[in-house]
Amino acid sequence: MSGFNYRAIWSIYRFELHRFRRTLLTGLLVPVITTSLYFVVFGGAIGSRMTQIDGIAYAAFIVPGLIMMSMFTESIFNASFGIYMPKFTGTIYELLSAPVSAAETIIAYVGAAATKSLIVGTIIFLTAHLFVDLPVAHPLAMIGFMLLIAISFCLFGFILGIWAQSFEQLQVIPMLIVMPMTFLGGAFYSIHMLAEPWRTITLFNPIVYLISGFRWTFFGRGDVGIELSLLFVAGMLVLCLAIIGWMFRTGYRIKK
């Protein structure tokens, strides 16, 4: 047999989605509830006392940040878990002994995790419509952006899953790095609201560019230019692919 093992990709993809289906209720209910809570707290309680940000109602302003935050978390969690679990249970022996290339493995695992992440993002988007009037200036760009974000963060999660040697390590990066960076990355405010030097410091946070870019697809403007945002997404994709390429070449933490 030679050529592309598309059947393996499909098998892994289905297996992973089946795993998600087992926890379907919590998996889908959690984002809906979380979103609703954010709207009650930020949109209702605090937002009612706030003026508009860049001419956008506060409750609407936070939607892109909210979607991004959930998608970051979901992507990292699902993709890292997807590859960490076979390592943990030992079932990875089968993947390693199968005629499956590195590229096929990544497409399957990252594809499955990205699918779930996109579903969650879409649910939050739809739930948000229950609370606010939400215009979308560039619908196609919005979908494209969600797709790119899902893929890059799933790649990142995949790296994390290969790197992690314990459940604690699996949690530490999302909780201690990604979560704070997202909060400080303008998920719930415009960085223009910050005073110097914080505004300049914030510009070193790559998350700022991602959230700003996604916000642009809704409102036609963001904290930074859309070109810069796209550059950061592309940069993240390339970086993750390079790391994964190196991991597979060296067998890092997968193959002795």
Partner 1 sequence: MPRMASIITVSGLTKSYASGFQALKGVDLEIEEGEIFALLGPNGAGKTTMISIICGNVRATGGSVTVAGHDIVRDYRGSRSAIGLVPQELHTDAFERVIDTVTFSRGLFGKPRNDAYIEKILRDLSLWDKRHSKILELSGGMKRRVMIAKALSHEPRILFLDEPTAGVDVELRRDMWKLIGELRQTGVTIILTTHYIEEAEEMADRVGVIDKGELILVEEKTALMKKLGKKSLTVVLAEPLAAVPPELAEWQVALKADGHEIEYLFDTQAERTGVSSLLRKLGDLGIGYKDLNTQQSSLEDIFVSLVHQEKAA
Binding site for partner 1 (CB under 8 A): 1-2, 5, 7-8, 10-12, 14-15, 18-19, 22, 89-91, 93-101, 251, 255-256
The candidate with the shortest Cα–Cα distance to 66, out of 225, 216, 211, is: 211
Cα angle for residues 45, 46, 49 (degrees, 5° grid): 105
Q: Looking at beta carbons only, is 192 or 255 nearer to partner 1?
A: 255
**C-alpha–C-alpha distance, residues 237 and 216, integer Å:** 20
Q: Looking at beta carbons only, is 5 or 35 nearer to partner 1?
A: 5
Q: Using alpha carbons, list the distances in angstroms from residue 204 to 62, 185, 199.
A: 21, 10, 9
Q: Looking at beta carbons only, is 19 or 138 nearer to partner 1?
A: 19
Q: Looking at beta carbons only, is 79 or 100 nearer to partner 1?
A: 100
Q: What is the smallest separation between the CB atom of 126 and partner 1, expressed in angstroms?
A: 30
Q: What is the smallest separation between the CB atom of 92 and partner 1, expressed in angstroms?
A: 8
Q: What is the smallest separation between the CB atom of 26 and partner 1, expressed in angstroms?
A: 15
Q: Looking at beta carbons only, is 2 or 51 nearer to partner 1?
A: 2
Q: What is the smallest separation between the CB atom of 86 and partner 1, expressed in angstroms?
A: 8
The candidate with the shortest Cα–Cα distance to 222, out of 197, 186, 198, is: 186
Q: Looking at beta carbons only, is 92 or 194 nearer to partner 1?
A: 92
Q: What is the smallest separation between the CB atom of 19 and partner 1, expressed in angstroms?
A: 8
Answer yes or no: are the C-beta atoms of 186 and 213 closer than 8 Å: no
Terminal Cα distance for the chain, rounded: 26
Dihedrals phi, psi of 168, to nearest 5 degrees: -65, -45
Q: What is the smallest separation between the CB atom of 22 and partner 1, expressed in angstroms?
A: 7
Beta bridge pairs of residue 139: none
Q: Taking the CA atoms of 24, 13, 250 and 237 in sequence, report the sign of the dihedral they define.
A: negative
